Chains A and B, each alone.
Chain A
Amino acid sequence: MPVPDDRKKKPKTTAEAKIPGAYEGETVTRRRFMTGSAHTAGAIATTAFTLPALGMAFGPVFETEEPRWEGVGKTSDFPDDTYIPRTLTVSRGIGEVGKTTVYVRKYSDKDTEVRDEYNAYVAVSTRCMHLGCPVRYVEASERFICPCHGGVYDFEGKVSGGPPVRPLDRFYTRVRDGVVEIGPRYSLNSELKRFSPRDPGQPIDGVGQFMYPARPTIRKLPGT
Protein backbone atom coordinates (compact mmCIF):
# COMPACT_ATOMS: atom_id res chain seq x y z
CA MET A 1 0.00 0.00 0.00
CA PRO A 2 1.51 3.34 -1.02
CA VAL A 3 2.19 5.99 1.57
CA PRO A 4 -0.40 8.81 1.38
CA ASP A 5 0.90 11.85 -0.43
CA ASP A 6 0.23 14.38 2.33
CA ARG A 7 3.04 12.84 4.38
CA LYS A 8 5.52 13.93 1.81
CA LYS A 9 4.19 17.47 1.95
CA LYS A 10 5.05 17.81 5.66
CA PRO A 11 7.81 20.41 6.00
CA LYS A 12 11.12 18.99 7.20
CA THR A 13 12.55 22.23 8.61
CA THR A 14 11.08 25.24 10.34
CA ALA A 15 12.23 27.35 7.38
CA GLU A 16 10.12 25.23 5.05
CA ALA A 17 7.15 25.61 7.40
CA LYS A 18 7.62 29.39 7.16
CA ILE A 19 7.83 29.83 10.94
CA PRO A 20 8.98 33.39 11.72
CA GLY A 21 12.62 33.61 12.82
CA ALA A 22 13.48 30.14 11.52
CA TYR A 23 17.15 29.20 11.34
CA GLU A 24 18.74 27.53 8.39
CA GLY A 25 18.41 23.72 8.78
CA GLU A 26 16.37 23.91 12.01
CA THR A 27 14.18 20.78 12.17
CA VAL A 28 12.61 21.12 15.64
CA THR A 29 10.38 24.06 16.52
CA ARG A 30 11.47 26.02 19.58
CA ARG A 31 8.17 25.30 21.33
CA ARG A 32 8.72 21.59 20.88
CA PHE A 33 12.31 21.90 22.02
CA MET A 34 11.35 23.78 25.19
CA THR A 35 8.64 21.26 26.02
CA GLY A 36 11.11 18.43 25.55
CA SER A 37 13.76 20.12 27.73
CA ALA A 38 11.25 20.77 30.53
CA HIS A 39 10.12 17.13 30.48
CA THR A 40 13.70 15.90 30.45
CA ALA A 41 14.62 18.18 33.35
CA GLY A 42 11.65 16.81 35.30
CA ALA A 43 12.61 13.23 34.55
CA ILE A 44 16.23 13.85 35.62
CA ALA A 45 15.11 15.53 38.85
CA THR A 46 12.75 12.65 39.68
CA THR A 47 15.41 10.06 38.95
CA ALA A 48 17.93 11.99 41.02
CA PHE A 49 15.97 11.43 44.22
CA THR A 50 14.28 8.11 43.38
CA LEU A 51 17.39 6.11 42.52
CA PRO A 52 19.41 6.97 45.65
CA ALA A 53 16.33 6.27 47.80
CA LEU A 54 15.83 2.85 46.19
CA GLY A 55 19.55 2.21 46.55
CA MET A 56 19.18 2.81 50.27
CA ALA A 57 16.30 0.35 50.47
CA PHE A 58 18.03 -2.40 48.50
CA GLY A 59 21.63 -1.73 49.62
CA PRO A 60 21.60 -4.04 52.65
CA VAL A 61 20.78 -7.00 50.39
CA PHE A 62 24.23 -6.74 48.84
CA GLU A 63 26.22 -5.92 51.94
CA THR A 64 29.03 -8.27 52.81
CA GLU A 65 30.32 -9.13 56.26
CA GLU A 66 33.62 -10.60 57.38
CA PRO A 67 33.16 -14.08 58.92
CA ARG A 68 33.00 -13.80 62.70
CA TRP A 69 34.14 -16.54 65.07
CA GLU A 70 32.62 -16.77 68.51
CA GLY A 71 33.93 -19.02 71.28
CA VAL A 72 31.26 -21.24 72.89
CA GLY A 73 33.25 -23.38 75.32
CA LYS A 74 36.23 -25.66 75.93
CA THR A 75 36.74 -28.71 73.73
CA SER A 76 36.13 -30.96 76.73
CA ASP A 77 32.59 -29.52 77.16
CA PHE A 78 31.24 -31.34 74.10
CA PRO A 79 30.67 -35.13 73.89
CA ASP A 80 30.14 -36.92 70.57
CA ASP A 81 26.90 -38.75 71.41
CA THR A 82 24.66 -35.85 72.41
CA TYR A 83 24.25 -32.14 71.81
CA ILE A 84 25.06 -29.27 74.18
CA PRO A 85 23.00 -26.09 73.56
CA ARG A 86 24.95 -22.85 73.33
CA THR A 87 23.89 -19.25 72.63
CA LEU A 88 25.30 -17.50 69.61
CA THR A 89 24.89 -13.89 68.44
CA VAL A 90 23.97 -13.88 64.76
CA SER A 91 22.81 -10.28 64.55
CA ARG A 92 24.52 -7.58 66.58
CA GLY A 93 23.00 -4.40 68.00
CA ILE A 94 19.49 -5.66 68.76
CA GLY A 95 20.03 -7.27 72.15
CA GLU A 96 18.44 -10.62 72.94
CA VAL A 97 16.62 -10.72 69.61
CA GLY A 98 19.90 -11.15 67.73
CA LYS A 99 20.82 -14.34 69.61
CA THR A 100 20.09 -17.88 68.55
CA THR A 101 20.61 -21.31 70.04
CA VAL A 102 23.09 -23.65 68.41
CA TYR A 103 23.55 -27.36 69.26
CA VAL A 104 27.19 -28.41 69.49
CA ARG A 105 28.81 -31.86 69.72
CA LYS A 106 32.02 -33.55 68.72
CA TYR A 107 32.33 -35.18 65.28
CA SER A 108 31.65 -38.90 65.72
CA ASP A 109 32.38 -42.07 63.71
CA LYS A 110 28.73 -42.24 62.66
CA ASP A 111 28.80 -38.82 60.96
CA THR A 112 28.39 -38.79 57.18
CA GLU A 113 29.43 -35.20 56.50
CA VAL A 114 32.88 -35.23 54.96
CA ARG A 115 35.43 -34.55 57.71
CA ASP A 116 37.66 -31.50 57.24
CA GLU A 117 39.27 -28.69 59.24
CA TYR A 118 35.90 -27.00 59.88
CA ASN A 119 33.87 -29.78 61.51
CA ALA A 120 35.90 -31.33 64.28
CA TYR A 121 32.92 -30.06 66.25
CA VAL A 122 29.48 -30.16 64.68
CA ALA A 123 27.35 -27.05 65.29
CA VAL A 124 23.74 -27.51 64.21
CA SER A 125 21.50 -24.48 63.68
CA THR A 126 18.11 -24.49 65.41
CA ARG A 127 16.46 -22.78 62.44
CA CYS A 128 13.85 -25.19 61.07
CA MET A 129 14.24 -25.67 57.32
CA HIS A 130 10.50 -25.56 56.80
CA LEU A 131 9.85 -21.89 57.64
CA GLY A 132 12.39 -20.88 60.26
CA CYS A 133 10.86 -21.72 63.64
CA PRO A 134 13.27 -22.81 66.38
CA VAL A 135 13.78 -26.59 66.67
CA ARG A 136 14.61 -28.33 69.95
CA TYR A 137 16.80 -31.40 70.42
CA VAL A 138 14.97 -34.15 72.28
CA GLU A 139 17.54 -36.42 73.84
CA ALA A 140 15.23 -39.39 74.48
CA SER A 141 14.36 -39.83 70.80
CA GLU A 142 17.63 -38.41 69.44
CA ARG A 143 15.57 -36.15 67.21
CA PHE A 144 15.28 -32.42 66.50
CA ILE A 145 11.60 -31.45 66.68
CA CYS A 146 9.98 -28.23 65.46
CA PRO A 147 6.98 -26.93 67.43
CA CYS A 148 5.37 -25.02 64.57
CA HIS A 149 4.43 -27.54 61.87
CA GLY A 150 5.88 -30.80 63.10
CA GLY A 151 9.23 -31.00 61.31
CA VAL A 152 11.43 -33.86 62.63
CA TYR A 153 15.18 -34.32 62.02
CA ASP A 154 17.46 -37.21 63.01
CA PHE A 155 20.64 -37.04 65.08
CA GLU A 156 22.64 -35.64 62.15
CA GLY A 157 19.96 -33.07 61.31
CA LYS A 158 18.64 -34.92 58.24
CA VAL A 159 14.89 -34.72 57.67
CA SER A 160 13.08 -37.74 59.05
CA GLY A 161 9.55 -36.39 58.86
CA GLY A 162 7.29 -33.42 58.32
CA PRO A 163 7.46 -30.51 55.89
CA PRO A 164 11.16 -29.41 56.02
CA VAL A 165 12.83 -29.32 52.61
CA ARG A 166 16.44 -29.99 53.59
CA PRO A 167 18.62 -30.92 56.59
CA LEU A 168 19.26 -28.40 59.35
CA ASP A 169 21.90 -25.77 58.54
CA ARG A 170 25.25 -25.95 60.31
CA PHE A 171 27.95 -23.50 61.31
CA TYR A 172 31.65 -23.81 60.55
CA THR A 173 33.62 -24.59 63.70
CA ARG A 174 37.29 -24.43 64.55
CA VAL A 175 39.41 -24.91 67.66
CA ARG A 176 41.65 -22.09 68.91
CA ASP A 177 43.63 -22.52 72.16
CA GLY A 178 41.38 -25.35 73.33
CA VAL A 179 38.21 -23.30 72.73
CA VAL A 180 35.57 -24.30 70.20
CA GLU A 181 34.73 -21.32 68.00
CA ILE A 182 31.66 -21.04 65.82
CA GLY A 183 31.82 -19.23 62.51
CA PRO A 184 29.54 -18.54 59.55
CA ARG A 185 26.46 -20.55 58.61
CA TYR A 186 26.27 -22.96 55.68
CA SER A 187 23.49 -25.09 54.23
CA LEU A 188 23.43 -28.78 53.37
CA ASN A 189 21.59 -30.84 50.81
CA SER A 190 20.07 -34.21 51.66
CA GLU A 191 23.49 -35.89 51.17
CA LEU A 192 25.09 -33.44 53.63
CA LYS A 193 27.03 -31.72 50.86
CA ARG A 194 27.87 -28.10 51.69
CA PHE A 195 26.20 -25.15 49.96
CA SER A 196 26.27 -21.39 50.45
CA PRO A 197 23.67 -20.46 53.08
CA ARG A 198 20.03 -20.34 51.95
CA ASP A 199 16.91 -19.28 53.82
CA PRO A 200 14.45 -21.80 55.25
CA GLY A 201 11.95 -23.33 52.85
CA GLN A 202 14.39 -23.35 49.92
CA PRO A 203 15.34 -26.85 48.74
CA ILE A 204 18.86 -27.17 47.31
CA ASP A 205 18.72 -30.73 45.98
CA GLY A 206 18.89 -30.97 42.19
CA VAL A 207 17.43 -27.95 40.43
CA GLY A 208 16.67 -26.26 43.76
CA GLN A 209 20.17 -24.81 44.06
CA PHE A 210 19.53 -22.84 40.85
CA MET A 211 15.91 -21.96 41.67
CA TYR A 212 17.03 -20.45 44.96
CA PRO A 213 20.30 -18.64 44.27
CA ALA A 214 22.56 -17.86 47.24
CA ARG A 215 23.37 -14.25 48.04
CA PRO A 216 26.18 -12.98 45.84
CA THR A 217 27.96 -11.55 48.88
CA ILE A 218 27.56 -14.36 51.43
CA ARG A 219 29.06 -17.67 50.26
CA LYS A 220 30.41 -20.77 51.95
CA LEU A 221 34.07 -20.57 52.93
CA PRO A 222 36.42 -21.11 49.99
CA GLY A 223 37.62 -24.68 49.54
CA THR A 224 34.83 -26.38 51.49
Chain B
Amino acid sequence: MAKLPTTSGLRPPAKRRESEEDTTAAPAEKKKGKLQESGIATVDWLDERTSLSAGARWMMFRKIPKGTNWFYTLGSATMFAFLSQTVTGVFLAMYYDPSATRAYESVRYLTNEVFLGEFVRGMHKWGSTVMVILIFLHMARTFFFGAYKYPRELNWVIGVVLLILTLMMSFTGYLLPFDQRSYWATTVGVAINGTGPLVGPYLSDFLRAGPEFGVTTLSRFYAIHMLLLPGIIAALIGAHLYLVARLGTTAPPWIRADTGPELREDKA
Protein backbone atom coordinates (compact mmCIF):
# COMPACT_ATOMS: atom_id res chain seq x y z
CA MET B 1 0.00 0.00 0.00
CA ALA B 2 1.31 3.46 -0.93
CA LYS B 3 2.28 5.74 1.96
CA LEU B 4 -0.01 8.73 1.84
CA PRO B 5 0.70 11.89 3.85
CA THR B 6 -2.40 11.45 5.97
CA THR B 7 -2.61 12.35 9.61
CA SER B 8 -2.41 9.71 12.25
CA GLY B 9 -6.09 10.16 12.96
CA LEU B 10 -7.04 9.18 9.45
CA ARG B 11 -4.73 6.18 9.33
CA PRO B 12 -5.06 2.90 11.10
CA PRO B 13 -3.06 3.36 14.33
CA ALA B 14 -0.81 0.30 13.83
CA LYS B 15 0.96 1.74 10.77
CA ARG B 16 1.64 5.09 12.42
CA ARG B 17 5.43 5.04 12.99
CA GLU B 18 6.27 3.17 9.82
CA SER B 19 8.03 5.95 7.83
CA GLU B 20 10.28 7.08 10.71
CA GLU B 21 12.31 3.86 10.62
CA ASP B 22 13.39 4.57 7.04
CA THR B 23 16.91 6.12 7.47
CA THR B 24 18.29 5.19 4.06
CA ALA B 25 16.28 7.82 2.18
CA ALA B 26 18.04 10.56 0.13
CA PRO B 27 18.43 14.07 1.76
CA ALA B 28 15.78 15.63 -0.52
CA GLU B 29 13.32 12.96 0.41
CA LYS B 30 14.30 13.38 4.05
CA LYS B 31 13.43 17.08 3.86
CA LYS B 32 10.12 16.27 2.26
CA GLY B 33 9.49 13.77 4.98
CA LYS B 34 10.22 16.41 7.63
CA LEU B 35 7.73 18.78 6.02
CA GLN B 36 5.14 16.08 6.04
CA GLU B 37 5.91 15.30 9.63
CA SER B 38 5.46 18.92 10.70
CA GLY B 39 2.08 19.11 8.94
CA ILE B 40 1.01 15.89 10.57
CA ALA B 41 2.23 17.21 13.93
CA THR B 42 -0.01 20.27 13.58
CA VAL B 43 -3.04 18.18 12.77
CA ASP B 44 -2.13 15.84 15.59
CA TRP B 45 -1.98 18.79 17.98
CA LEU B 46 -5.48 19.83 16.95
CA ASP B 47 -6.75 16.30 16.96
CA GLU B 48 -5.48 15.59 20.45
CA ARG B 49 -7.52 18.53 21.71
CA THR B 50 -10.66 18.17 19.59
CA SER B 51 -10.88 14.59 18.33
CA LEU B 52 -11.96 16.12 15.02
CA SER B 53 -10.46 13.31 12.98
CA ALA B 54 -12.82 10.81 14.52
CA GLY B 55 -15.70 12.99 13.39
CA ALA B 56 -14.20 13.40 9.94
CA ARG B 57 -13.69 9.64 9.65
CA TRP B 58 -17.26 9.06 10.76
CA MET B 59 -18.57 11.56 8.20
CA MET B 60 -16.38 10.72 5.21
CA PHE B 61 -15.36 7.05 5.35
CA ARG B 62 -18.81 5.55 5.39
CA LYS B 63 -19.89 2.24 3.94
CA ILE B 64 -22.05 2.82 0.92
CA PRO B 65 -24.30 0.28 -0.74
CA LYS B 66 -23.57 -1.48 -4.01
CA GLY B 67 -25.04 0.37 -6.99
CA THR B 68 -24.34 3.86 -5.67
CA ASN B 69 -24.13 6.11 -8.73
CA TRP B 70 -23.92 9.71 -9.89
CA PHE B 71 -27.52 10.42 -8.89
CA TYR B 72 -26.33 10.24 -5.28
CA THR B 73 -24.29 13.42 -5.77
CA LEU B 74 -27.34 15.65 -6.31
CA GLY B 75 -27.58 16.43 -2.60
CA SER B 76 -23.96 17.56 -2.44
CA ALA B 77 -24.52 19.53 -5.64
CA THR B 78 -27.40 21.36 -3.95
CA MET B 79 -25.23 22.07 -0.94
CA PHE B 80 -22.47 23.49 -3.12
CA ALA B 81 -25.05 25.67 -4.87
CA PHE B 82 -26.01 26.94 -1.41
CA LEU B 83 -22.35 27.58 -0.54
CA SER B 84 -21.91 29.48 -3.79
CA GLN B 85 -25.00 31.58 -2.99
CA THR B 86 -23.62 32.26 0.49
CA VAL B 87 -20.19 33.39 -0.68
CA THR B 88 -21.42 35.54 -3.58
CA GLY B 89 -24.21 36.91 -1.39
CA VAL B 90 -21.82 38.06 1.32
CA PHE B 91 -19.82 40.06 -1.20
CA LEU B 92 -22.89 41.47 -2.94
CA ALA B 93 -24.01 42.71 0.49
CA MET B 94 -20.87 44.87 0.67
CA TYR B 95 -22.22 47.01 -2.18
CA TYR B 96 -25.97 46.71 -1.72
CA ASP B 97 -28.06 49.39 -0.03
CA PRO B 98 -31.51 48.19 1.08
CA SER B 99 -33.27 51.56 0.94
CA ALA B 100 -36.18 52.13 -1.40
CA THR B 101 -34.62 55.24 -2.91
CA ARG B 102 -31.06 53.90 -3.31
CA ALA B 103 -31.40 50.13 -3.84
CA TYR B 104 -31.72 50.30 -7.62
CA GLU B 105 -28.78 52.69 -7.92
CA SER B 106 -26.58 50.49 -5.71
CA VAL B 107 -27.40 47.44 -7.83
CA ARG B 108 -26.69 49.41 -11.00
CA TYR B 109 -23.36 50.52 -9.54
CA LEU B 110 -22.28 47.04 -8.48
CA THR B 111 -23.31 45.60 -11.84
CA ASN B 112 -21.77 48.22 -14.11
CA GLU B 113 -18.91 49.81 -12.17
CA VAL B 114 -17.54 47.30 -9.67
CA PHE B 115 -14.72 45.01 -10.89
CA LEU B 116 -16.25 41.55 -11.49
CA GLY B 117 -19.51 42.85 -9.98
CA GLU B 118 -21.60 41.74 -12.92
CA PHE B 119 -20.01 38.29 -12.80
CA VAL B 120 -20.58 37.77 -9.08
CA ARG B 121 -24.12 39.09 -9.28
CA GLY B 122 -24.72 36.86 -12.29
CA MET B 123 -23.51 33.83 -10.34
CA HIS B 124 -25.86 34.73 -7.49
CA LYS B 125 -28.81 35.32 -9.81
CA TRP B 126 -28.43 32.23 -11.99
CA GLY B 127 -27.14 30.19 -9.04
CA SER B 128 -30.45 30.66 -7.29
CA THR B 129 -32.25 29.03 -10.20
CA VAL B 130 -29.66 26.25 -10.33
CA MET B 131 -30.15 25.59 -6.63
CA VAL B 132 -33.93 25.27 -7.00
CA ILE B 133 -33.52 22.90 -9.97
CA LEU B 134 -30.95 20.80 -8.09
CA ILE B 135 -33.17 20.59 -5.03
CA PHE B 136 -36.01 19.22 -7.12
CA LEU B 137 -33.72 16.73 -8.85
CA HIS B 138 -32.36 15.63 -5.46
CA MET B 139 -35.92 15.28 -4.20
CA ALA B 140 -36.91 13.26 -7.28
CA ARG B 141 -33.91 10.95 -6.76
CA THR B 142 -34.92 10.42 -3.14
CA PHE B 143 -38.50 9.75 -4.14
CA PHE B 144 -37.89 7.37 -7.02
CA PHE B 145 -35.21 5.43 -5.17
CA GLY B 146 -37.55 5.08 -2.20
CA ALA B 147 -34.91 6.66 0.02
CA TYR B 148 -37.54 8.51 2.08
CA LYS B 149 -38.78 5.30 3.73
CA TYR B 150 -38.06 4.06 7.24
CA PRO B 151 -35.82 5.06 8.96
CA ARG B 152 -35.24 8.18 6.85
CA GLU B 153 -38.65 9.86 7.09
CA LEU B 154 -37.36 12.65 9.31
CA ASN B 155 -34.66 13.47 6.79
CA TRP B 156 -37.34 13.73 4.09
CA VAL B 157 -39.27 16.14 6.32
CA ILE B 158 -36.14 18.25 6.92
CA GLY B 159 -35.54 18.21 3.16
CA VAL B 160 -39.04 19.49 2.46
CA VAL B 161 -38.52 22.29 4.98
CA LEU B 162 -35.24 23.12 3.23
CA LEU B 163 -37.09 23.22 -0.11
CA ILE B 164 -39.66 25.65 1.30
CA LEU B 165 -36.91 27.80 2.85
CA THR B 166 -35.09 27.86 -0.49
CA LEU B 167 -38.24 29.04 -2.27
CA MET B 168 -38.62 31.71 0.43
CA MET B 169 -35.05 32.76 -0.34
CA SER B 170 -35.99 33.09 -4.00
CA PHE B 171 -39.06 35.13 -3.12
CA THR B 172 -37.29 37.56 -0.78
CA GLY B 173 -34.25 37.87 -3.05
CA TYR B 174 -36.33 38.69 -6.11
CA LEU B 175 -37.33 42.07 -4.66
CA LEU B 176 -33.81 43.25 -3.92
CA PRO B 177 -32.72 44.62 -7.35
CA PHE B 178 -35.78 46.85 -6.94
CA ASP B 179 -36.61 47.34 -10.60
CA GLN B 180 -40.11 47.26 -12.08
CA ARG B 181 -40.09 43.49 -12.37
CA SER B 182 -39.02 43.03 -8.72
CA TYR B 183 -41.56 45.48 -7.40
CA TRP B 184 -44.58 44.10 -9.24
CA ALA B 185 -43.58 40.48 -8.71
CA THR B 186 -43.38 41.16 -4.99
CA THR B 187 -46.70 43.02 -5.03
CA VAL B 188 -48.28 39.97 -6.65
CA GLY B 189 -46.42 37.53 -4.38
CA VAL B 190 -47.51 39.32 -1.22
CA ALA B 191 -51.10 39.40 -2.51
CA ILE B 192 -50.93 35.63 -3.10
CA ASN B 193 -49.82 35.21 0.54
CA GLY B 194 -52.81 37.33 1.51
CA THR B 195 -55.30 34.96 -0.10
CA GLY B 196 -54.84 32.40 2.69
CA PRO B 197 -58.05 32.45 4.74
CA LEU B 198 -57.94 34.09 8.21
CA VAL B 199 -54.14 34.35 8.55
CA GLY B 200 -53.49 35.62 5.00
CA PRO B 201 -54.23 39.31 5.64
CA TYR B 202 -51.93 39.35 8.69
CA LEU B 203 -49.20 37.48 6.82
CA SER B 204 -49.14 39.97 3.96
CA ASP B 205 -49.15 42.88 6.42
CA PHE B 206 -46.20 41.25 8.20
CA LEU B 207 -44.28 40.89 4.93
CA ARG B 208 -44.90 44.50 3.91
CA ALA B 209 -44.52 45.88 7.44
CA GLY B 210 -47.90 47.57 7.09
CA PRO B 211 -50.88 47.91 4.78
CA GLU B 212 -48.88 49.42 1.91
CA PHE B 213 -45.48 48.74 0.41
CA GLY B 214 -43.53 51.14 2.63
CA VAL B 215 -40.22 52.49 3.88
CA THR B 216 -39.14 49.31 5.67
CA THR B 217 -40.53 46.67 3.31
CA LEU B 218 -37.30 46.39 1.35
CA SER B 219 -35.03 46.25 4.42
CA ARG B 220 -37.37 43.68 5.93
CA PHE B 221 -37.06 41.46 2.85
CA TYR B 222 -33.30 42.01 2.88
CA ALA B 223 -32.93 41.00 6.53
CA ILE B 224 -35.05 37.89 6.01
CA HIS B 225 -33.09 37.06 2.85
CA MET B 226 -29.57 37.41 4.20
CA LEU B 227 -29.83 36.80 7.95
CA LEU B 228 -32.87 34.85 8.99
CA LEU B 229 -33.27 32.27 6.22
CA PRO B 230 -29.58 31.44 5.55
CA GLY B 231 -29.07 30.78 9.27
CA ILE B 232 -31.99 28.38 9.43
CA ILE B 233 -30.96 26.71 6.15
CA ALA B 234 -27.36 26.21 7.32
CA ALA B 235 -28.55 24.68 10.60
CA LEU B 236 -30.98 22.35 8.83
CA ILE B 237 -28.35 21.28 6.28
CA GLY B 238 -26.21 20.28 9.28
CA ALA B 239 -29.06 18.19 10.66
CA HIS B 240 -29.74 16.72 7.20
CA LEU B 241 -26.09 15.67 6.78
CA TYR B 242 -25.91 14.29 10.30
CA LEU B 243 -28.86 12.02 9.57
CA VAL B 244 -27.37 10.95 6.23
CA ALA B 245 -24.15 9.92 7.97
CA ARG B 246 -25.99 8.30 10.86
CA LEU B 247 -28.48 6.30 8.79
CA GLY B 248 -26.39 5.71 5.68
CA THR B 249 -27.64 5.81 2.12
CA THR B 250 -30.02 3.40 0.44
CA ALA B 251 -29.19 1.10 -2.44
CA PRO B 252 -30.93 1.81 -5.73
CA PRO B 253 -34.21 -0.09 -6.07
CA TRP B 254 -32.84 -2.32 -8.84
CA ILE B 255 -30.13 -3.76 -6.59
CA ARG B 256 -31.34 -7.01 -5.03
CA ALA B 257 -30.13 -8.21 -1.66
CA ASP B 258 -26.99 -10.27 -2.27
CA THR B 259 -27.40 -13.85 -1.15
CA GLY B 260 -24.07 -15.22 -2.44
CA PRO B 261 -22.31 -17.98 -0.49
CA GLU B 262 -19.59 -15.65 0.91
CA LEU B 263 -22.23 -13.43 2.45
CA ARG B 264 -24.01 -16.30 4.12
CA GLU B 265 -20.68 -17.46 5.44
CA ASP B 266 -20.03 -13.98 6.81
CA LYS B 267 -23.32 -13.96 8.63
CA ALA B 268 -22.65 -17.32 10.21
A residues within 8 Å of B by Cβ?
Answer: 57-58, 60-61, 63, 90-95, 97-98, 130-134, 148, 197-202, 211-215, 218
Chain B residues near A133: list those with CB within 8 A: 184, 187-188
B201 touches A202 (CB 8 A): yes
Give the contacting residue for A218; candidates B100, B187, B192, B211; CB below 8 A: B211
Residues of B contacting A91 with CB < 8 Å? Answer: 212-215
Knowing A94-B101, A95-B100, A132-B187 are in contact, say whether A60-B210 is a contact too (CB < 8 A): yes
Chain A residue numbers with a CB within 8 Å of B215 are: 91-94
Interface size of B by CB at 8 A reads 27
- The answer to whether A211 touches B214 (Cβ under 8 A) is no
CB atoms of A131 and B188 under 8 A apart = yes
17 A-B residue pairs with CB within 8 Å = A60-B210, A61-B206, A91-B212, A93-B100, A94-B100, A97-B101, A97-B183, A98-B213, A198-B201, A199-B190, A199-B204, A201-B191, A211-B197, A212-B200, A213-B201, A215-B205, A218-B211
Residues of A within 8 A of B202 (CB): 61
Q: How far is the CB of A206 from chain B (nearest CB, A)?
A: 13
Residues of chain B contacted by A61 (CB below 8 angstroms):
202, 205-206, 209-210
Whether B188 lies near A214 (C-beta < 8 A) is: no
Contacting pair B192 A201 (CB below 8 A): yes
Q: Which of B188, B190, B209, B213 contacts A60 (CB 8 A)?
A: B209
- List chain B positions with a Cβ less than 8 A from chain A: 100-101, 183-184, 187-188, 190-192, 194-195, 197-198, 200-202, 204-206, 209-216
A53–B53 Cα gap in the complex (Å)? 40
Q: Are B191 and A63 in contact (CB under 8 A)?
A: no
- Sorted from nearest, which 9 A-B pairs have the closest CB atoms? A94-B100, A199-B194, A60-B209, A201-B195, A132-B191, A131-B191, A211-B197, A61-B205, A131-B188
Beyond known contacts A94-B101, A134-B184: 6 more, CB 8 A cutoff: A58-B206, A60-B209, A94-B214, A199-B191, A213-B201, A218-B211
Which residues of the other chain, A, contact B100 by a CB distance below 8 angstroms?
Answer: 93-95, 97-98
Cα-based distance from A143 to B191 in the complex (angstroms): 23
Which chain A residues lie closer than 8 Å to B211 at the CB level? 197, 215, 218
Contacts of A212 in B (CB 8 A): 194, 197-198, 200-201
Q: Name which residue of chain B comes closest to A211, CB basis.
A: B197
How close is A155's CB to chain B, nearest CB, in angstroms? Answer: 24
B252 vs chain A, min Cβ distance (A): 43
- Neighbouring A residues of B191 by C-beta, 8 Å: 130-132, 199-201
Q: Which partner residue on chain A sits nearest B194 by CB separation?
A: A199
- In the assembled complex, the Cα of A50 lies from the Cα of B191 at a distance in Å of 28
Q: Which of these, B201, B213, B216, contacts A215 with CB under 8 Å?
A: B201
B210 to A148, Cβ gap below 8 A?
no
Q: Residue B206 contacts which of A57, A93, A148, A198 (CB distance < 8 angstroms)?
A: A57
Known: A131-B191, A200-B194, A214-B201. A90 touches B212 (CB 8 A): yes
Chain A residue at minimal CB-CB distance from B215: A93
Q: Is the CB of B192 within 8 A of A131?
A: yes
**Cβ-closest chain A residue relative to B202:** A61
| Residues in chain B near residue A97, CB distance under 8 A | 100-101, 183, 213
The answer to whether A98 and B198 have CB atoms under 8 Å apart is no
B186 — nearest CB in chain A belongs to which residue? A132
Specify which of A58, A201, A211, A218 lies most central, judged by the most chain B CB atoms within 10 Å of its CB. A201
